[in-house]
Structures are given as structure tokens and as C-alpha cells.
Amino acid sequence: MATGRILKSGFAATRVMGGKSGPISLLMLLQLGLASMAFGHDDHNRNMAIPEGQTISAEPVDTTLYIHIFLNMFVYGVMFPLGMVLGMIKSRFHVPLQIVAALLALLGAILGHSHGGREFVEGNAHAVFATPLQLLLIVQITFGLYLKMHLERGINGRIRPVVRVLHSFLGKAFPVLSWTQMLLGGITALGFCQGDHVGQCAAHFTMGSVFIAYGTILAIFLVCGQAWLARTGRSQEFFDSAVIAAWGCMTTFTEQSWGTDWVKNDWQHTTMGVIWWCAGLVGLWLSKDRDGRPARNLIPGGVLLVTGWAFSAHPQELVISEKTHQMFGYSLMAAGLSRIVEIAFVCKDRPAGENGKVSSWQYVPIYMLFASGFLFMGATEEQMDLVALGGMDHVSYILVMYSMALLTFLFANMLITVYYRAQNPPSAEQEGRNEAYNNVPGGRMGGTSMDSRRARDVEEFELDELVSDDDDEDDEANDETRRLVGGRGKENGNARVSTSDEDGIGSPSTLGKNEDGRIR
């Protein structure tokens, strides 16, 4: 096989280079292997086993293909995004992790060409998209190789900054490309989204992915994006409204095929696009106050609320499809309503996380967007038919979608936290406070944050009482001093002075006596 010859030549090159260039030669070997897999796809007449009019054969998925699926999900869905974050924070684990991920990606590609059991039609979307994805991975490895060699003299001084920018851009784009390839893999494995189902499938998976992306962006802005927002001089709702308006314009003119009759849900889809761009324009206008300063508004949350209500009443043919769409609508309504509550009552029209703290409520709209995205992606016609034939009820199916949303929500927050803590390491003073807080009865190990707040309130109240008592005593002493200076009650004044002298030099009468003694 051509793949075997290429890999053998790569191993030979590795042995020749040897020495300190071992990691570099290993990366070159990975490039050769991925290139051979990208261009060496051959179906070997497997399409003969696929019935006419179908996209997959009747055989079940074999063990090799299952390993390919779960291995690539781990590599492209977990390792590459984590490697991206480690690269952004310049961690020493970035390069080792990416090398291991690339090796596993090569193994996954080999397994994808070596499986038995179920066969797939030639030219399917997953196989077609795999070629540019692997080529981009080769380019990314090449950029990493170049940067690792630290060539900075001569022309390299001008090339290196460009390569660094391209390497960074590709690294950040890879999670999106990986997400797309994983969705295409699931569609291909089940033989979905063919023929008349293509448009409906594309709408569900695109819109569902947009909701998940929106939730991810909100999480990024919530934890570590407020400084960037402040530099732009815009509120977060400005960008939200701009995207809503653009998406609404596209939906208005693409949901119904021009020159054809209006059927089924064309009216709902088109009018939904209309309200999106109308509301987006309003949100853009309200994102500045009357003095031109950034201002928050409730329009994006209101758009989610209305969109969720519309989808909850979406007519469907199957009962399970109707229930799933209904729950999707309720989830989107919850996202919009919780977003409105966050802006109006939690943040009180101030930027999110302005004081460096994040309220637990602020994660509610983010998760509901994740849940809405998964529910919408899982509500295509073919998926609903498959679930109905399998005997699963709508409650179980919805809980599965919510569980997948929870895991994705967890992983996204983990990546964001890794980045935030690397960029904002806790000071020694903060670490000391955290350690002391963990060891006290009212801390995390022995009580609640409410206990600590109550203790602080009591302490502040007692201090206020002490300060007020001291102020009252000082006022009385000042009044007595004025009476002494005026000549009234001289004998009583002398007694008061001697008493104050015993207390120390802290009172005005004592200071006056000491000064008078030194002058004489």
C-alpha cells in the first residue's frame, strides 16, 4: 500500500535525523502519515454492498469503527481544544499534548479506512470534509515546527510574526472545524440528511450550533471578556443585537424558496426572521445611552423569549417531535427570561462581573442556551423517526439531550477557567485568605458564605457602635474645654483636667494643660 511505503520512508528519515531533532522528525513523520491518509482514501468497491437509494449498508457498526468514532471524539473534541488553551497561555504542556493528539488523530484516520461492517456511500460529507481538515492539521503542524526551531535572523525575522499569527488563528479555528466534522460523522454513520432532508437538517444543526456558540461566547465574556468589552467602548448587547439583526435578515430571505407556494412552517420561519432583524436594530440603538456611553438593554433576551414561545407552538407530525420542539421552546424561553433577570436585577444594568465576581444566576442563561442547542439539533425529522421506532419516550430523549448539554457546558467552563487562572494567578495574600477561610467554622469546609457575610455584618455593626461612642465622648470633652477657657466653673474644670490627665494625653484638655506647663 502507498500508505505503508510513505510511513516506512518516514521512519527511515527519523532514524537518519536522530539526536536532538527527534521531536521535529516525529512531527515530520506525523505530517507524512496524515498526508497519506488525506490523499489515500480508497473505497475498494465497498459501495457494492449499499442498496440502491440508500447511503449506508445494512451491516452493523463493527468494533474498529466504534474505536475510530470514540477516539476521534476524544482527540478532536477534547485534546485539541485543551491544546489550544494551553497554547494561548504559553504552557510547557502545549507541544507534548499536541504531539500526542496528532499521533492519535493519525491512528483514528487509519482506523477510519480499515473498518469492516457498515459501509458508507462514496463522497459522503464526512469523508469529503476529512481531507481539508487533515490538510489544515498538516499546515498547523508545519507552523508549529517552524516556530519551535526559533529561527529569528534574516528573513525569518519578518516571516516568523506572520507564521505566529496564522498558527494562532488556525489553532482557535480548529475547535469549530472539529465540531463540524463530528456532526458530519454522526450524520454519516446513521445515513441521515440525504435528498429532501438536506435543507431541514442543515437548518437544525446550524441553528443548534449557533445557540451553543452563543452560550460559549457569553461564558467567555462573563469570566474573562469584560476588559476587552471596556476597551471597545461597546456594551455586550451591541454585539448580540448586531448578530441577531444579521441572522434575521438572512432568515427572512432564505426560509422560503422564491417562486414556490408557501407551505407548512414557511410563514413562521420567515416572520421569525423579520422580528429578529427588527429587534436587532432596536437593540443596536439602545446599546448607547443618550450621552453616547455604552448601555445595556433587554432586547437580546426578549428575542430569545419570543423565539422560544414561537417554537413551543411549532406544529409537528409526530408526538415525540412535537414534545421535543416544545421543550426546546421552553428552554429558549428560560434562557431569554433568565437573561433579562440577570441584566435588570442581578447586574442592575452594569457590566457583568464588574466587581470581579460572578453570580451563580449568571450561568443559568448560558446553560439554557446549551440545552436549547442540543434539543434543536436532536429534533430533525429522521432523528425523531429513529427515536419513535426505537420505543424511547420523549422524556427520556429530552433528558439525554440535557445530559449532553451539561457535559459540553462543563467542558467549556473548564477551558475558560484554565485560561482565566493562568492569566490572573491569585496573589499570595489572596491564597492566604482562601486558606484561612477554608479553616474557619464559617468557611467552605464548615459553613456557608452566608455565615461569613453575617459575621462581617455583626463586626461592622459593633465597630460602628464603638466609633459612635468615642465620638460622643470627644464631643463632651470639647464642650468641657470650651467652658474651662470661658472661665466658668474653674474649680470643677481643674478637677476635670486632673481626671483627664490620668487618662493620658488623648483628650484636648490634657493637651492644653501640657502646653500651658511648657510655656511657663
Which residue type occupies 500?
S
404 and 501 both lie in a single domain: no
Q: Are 481 and 513 in contact (CB under 8 A)?
A: no
Residue type, 350: R
Percent pLDDT > 90 in the chain is 53
Pick the closest to residue 247 from 220, 223, 278 (CA basis): 278
Element holding 157 (H helix, E strand): helix 156-190
289 and 383 fall within a common domain: yes
Are the beta carbons of 287 and 301 closer than 8 angstroms?
A: no
The count of residues in the chain is 520
Distance CA(284)–CA(272), nearest Å, equals 18
- Same domain for 151 and 62: yes
pLDDT value at 15 more than 70 = no
Residue 71 lies in a domain: yes
C-alpha cell at 204: 437544525
Burial of 504 (0-12, 13-18, 19+ CB in 10 A): exposed
Highest mean pLDDT among 234-248, 439-453, 469-483: 234-248
| 407-429 tens-digit pLDDT | 999 999 999 999 999 998 876 55
Same domain for 84 and 107:
yes
Cα 131 from Cα 139, distance rounded (Å): 12
pTM of the model: 0.77
488: three-class secondary structure by DSSP: coil
> Residue 258 is part of which domain span?
198-426
* Arithmetic mean of pLDDT, 287-301: 94
Range scoring the smallest mean pLDDT among 302-311, 363-372, 420-429: 420-429
Residue 407, domain member (yes or no): yes
- pLDDT at position 490 over 60: no
The confidence band for 25, taking pLDDT boundaries of 50, 70 and 90, is low
Q: Do 246 and 377 fall into the same domain? A: yes
Distances 269 to 200, 242, 279, 383 between C-alpha atoms, Å: 12, 20, 16, 21
Among 171, 191, 211, identify where a domain stops.
Answer: 191
The residue whose grid cell reads 437548518 is 203
Query: Do residues 283 and 176 share a domain?
Result: no
Assess whether 273 and 391 both reside in one domain.
yes
Provide the domain count of the chain: 3
CA dist 448 and 258 (Å) reads 61
Residues 172 and 273 in one domain: no
Give me the chain's average pLDDT, please: 81
* pLDDT digit string, tens, across residues 93-119: 999 999 999 999 999 999 998 888 898
CA 493 to chain centroid? 73
State mean pLDDT over 458-462.
54
Phi-psi region of 45 (alpha: psi -120 to 50; beta: other; left: phi over 0): left
- Whose CA is closest to 399, among 481, 489, 450, 331? 331
496 falls within a domain? yes
Number of neighbours of residue 134 by Cβ within 10 angstroms: 21
Unique residue bearing C-alpha cell 470643677? 492
**Residue 473 confidence (pLDDT) above 90:** no
304's grid cell:
430569545
Residue 374 pLDDT > 60 = yes
Residues 276 and 360 in one domain: yes
pLDDT over 70 (residue 198): yes
Closest CA to 30 of 108, 138, 132, 136: 138
Looking at the fold, whether 207 and 296 belong to one and the same domain comes out as: yes
More confident residue, 48 or 9: 48
Is residue 375 situated within a structural domain? yes
Q: What is the mean pLDDT of residues 22-29?
A: 60
Report whether 504 contacts 510 (CB < 8 A). yes
Segment (H or E) for 217:
helix 198-224
Residue 122, φ and ψ in degrees, nearest 5: -70, 140
CA 43 from chain centre, in angstroms, equals: 39
pLDDT at 47: 57
CA dist 179 and 198 (Å) reads 18
Examine residue 50 and state whether it is found in any structural domain, yes or no: no
Residue where a domain stops, chosen among 127, 162, 191: 191
509 has a pLDDT exceeding 50: no
Cα distances (angstroms) measured from residue 206 to each of 160, 257, 342, 368, 376: 36, 18, 27, 17, 9
Number of C-beta neighbours around residue 247 at 10 A? 17
**How high is the pLDDT of residue 159?**
93
Same domain as 327, residue 241: yes
Question: Last residue of a domain, which of 129, 162, 191?
Answer: 191
- DSSP H helices in 287-427: 299-312, 319-341, 364-377, 381-390, 394-423
Residue in 214, 127, 132, 211 with CA at minimum distance from that of residue 177: 132
Query: How many Cβ atoms sit within 10 Å of the Cβ of residue 334?
Result: 20
Instruction: Clarify whether residues 240 and 166 are in a common domain.
Output: no
pLDDT at 332 over 90: yes
**Quick check: 117 and 62 in contact, CB under 8 A?**
yes
Q: How far apart are CA 375 and CA 383, in angstroms?
A: 11
436 lies in some domain:
no
SS3 call for 288:
strand
